[in-house]
Chain A
Amino acid sequence: MYNEDQKIVFHFSSELDIAFLQELYSDDLQQAEMVFESSVQQLRNEQQLAASRFHDGDIPGLKKVIHKMKPLLGYIGMNKLMEEFAAFEQTCIRSATAAEAEEGFHHIKAITLEAIKKAEREIKRLKQHNTQ
């Protein structure tokens, strides 16, 4: 039988925006796990698409992909990275060639991969908690 006293409290990792995540998911950690998984999956897909747009020199297309990736970071508690994505969107608007966006693109690629790693660690923690 479920005993409220035995309820194990979950704390989001300190490397994430804890206050925002708590507000976003309340106590619904099953939902958090599902959304983290979907967000990571979509970030992976969009990251590939972004690379493809960049290599094709399609900077307006790259901007669209970056715009789509941006809110995904919010759902996994990396709100500060959203600002970097927003800044890179502006770089894309100003850039006529892939060369002009190159430095920014490599930075975005690196922080996306790092974000995915952090989110995957959190998914493991959430899964562990949710199956207890």
Chain B
Amino acid sequence: MKYQSIIVEDLQVAAEFLKRFCEKSGVVDVAHHFLNAEDAMQFLKDNVVDLIFLDVEMPGATGFELLDQLVYTPQVILTTSKTEYAYDAFQYNVTDYLKKPFTYQRFLEAVQKVSKKTEQINGGSEQDHMFIKTDGKLIRLHNDDILFIESMGDYVKFITPAKKYITHNTIKNLETKVNPQVFMKVHRSYIVNFTKINDIQENVLFINGNMIPISKTHKSGVMQKINIL
């Protein structure tokens, strides 16, 4: 899994260093770097990320004030030059706490903690929903409400029995984010909730009257998933 992250850091040198570590690791993508918490808050109103590298003391709002504003909870790695924030870090349930300047080895340890926490979340009952950004709002969709997800280029369409939601994302990205116990990719343009499949005929499946192609690559995976008596 590759983590989508942002860096919120007013010290340019520290941010550049961190970007280089993220790139080197191959598992963390940096979507943006913000020099203050306010700009990051604005970005996070419209975008969902997996991970925030967050400085605490910055001009204007602090890193903790940013966390207070969030409507969802990405993982957070605090990056600060003070150790006095350990108690607050614990209160905010941050994943790790890096004291600047930190080495690549220490950075990797923090990313491993992110990975472990992700596994815990995905393995438990917590991932029974997802948040998607649509019409300027973050909407919670329960897995059970989603029939399938269809690609529309740089956008995807979430199909539920009641409504369709279009959001800026790709099937490739979602493939690694959705709960694999419920969803599976059946075609480069489709991820389906396989508990909703009504029937399968050759290389197509049907969900609520919608015909969805199954690619040759994914056919055997689909057949393994379904319970054939």
A68 to B14, CA, bound (A): 10
Residues of B within 8 A of A82 (CB): 81
Number of residues in B with C-beta < 8 Å to the partner?
17
Instruction: Check A64 for interface membership: any CB of B closer than 8 A.
Output: yes
Instruction: Check B57 for interface membership: any CB of A closer than 8 A.
Output: yes
Chain B interface: which of A7-15, A71-79, A99-107? A71-79
Instruction: Check B195 for interface membership: any CB of A closer than 8 A.
Output: no
Q: Is B57 a contact of A39 with CB atoms below 8 Å?
A: no
Instruction: Check A38 for interface membership: any CB of B closer than 8 A.
Output: yes
Instruction: Check B16 for interface membership: any CB of A closer than 8 A.
Output: yes
Instruction: Check B165 for interface membership: any CB of A closer than 8 A.
Output: no
Residues of B within 8 A of A131 (CB): none
Q: Mark B182-215, 1 if CB is under 8 A from A, else 0.
A: 0000000000000000000000000000000000
Which of A38, A70, A74 lies in contact with B12, CB distance below 8 A?
A38
Q: Is A72 a contact of B11 with CB atoms below 8 Å?
A: yes
A74 and B20 in contact, given A38-B13, A64-B57, A67-B81 (Cβ under 8 angstroms): no
Instruction: Check A51 for interface membership: any CB of B closer than 8 A.
Output: no
Instruction: Check A113 for interface membership: any CB of B closer than 8 A.
Output: no
Instruction: Check B105 for interface membership: any CB of A closer than 8 A.
Output: yes
Instruction: Check B101 for interface membership: any CB of A closer than 8 A.
Output: yes
A75 to B101, CA, bound (A): 6
A68 to B15, CA, bound (A): 13
A82 to B81, CA, bound (A): 9
Which of A38, A64, A74, A86 lies in contact with B101, CB distance below 8 A?
A74
- Per the 8 Å Cβ criterion, residues 27-58 of A in contact with B are 31, 35, 38-39, 42
Q: How far is the CB of A80 from chain B (nearest CB, A)?
A: 14
A23 and B105 in contact, given A64-B59, A72-B13 (Cβ under 8 angstroms): yes
Instruction: Check B103 for interface membership: any CB of A closer than 8 A.
Output: yes
A74 to B101, CA, bound (A): 6
Closest to B105 in A: A23
Q: Is B101 a contact of A68 with CB atoms below 8 Å?
A: no
Q: Is B13 a contact of A39 with CB atoms below 8 Å?
A: yes
Q: Is B100 a contact of A74 with CB atoms below 8 Å?
A: yes
- Per the 8 Å Cβ criterion, residues 34-59 of B in contact with A are 57, 59
User: Can you give 15 contacting A-B residue pairs, CB < 8 Å?
Assistant: A24-B103, A31-B20, A35-B13, A35-B16, A38-B13, A42-B12, A64-B57, A67-B82, A71-B11, A71-B81, A71-B101, A72-B11, A72-B13, A74-B101, A75-B13
Q: A26-B104, A35-B16, A35-B17 are in contact. List 6 more A-B contacts (CB 8 A).
A: A64-B59, A67-B81, A67-B82, A70-B81, A71-B14, A75-B14
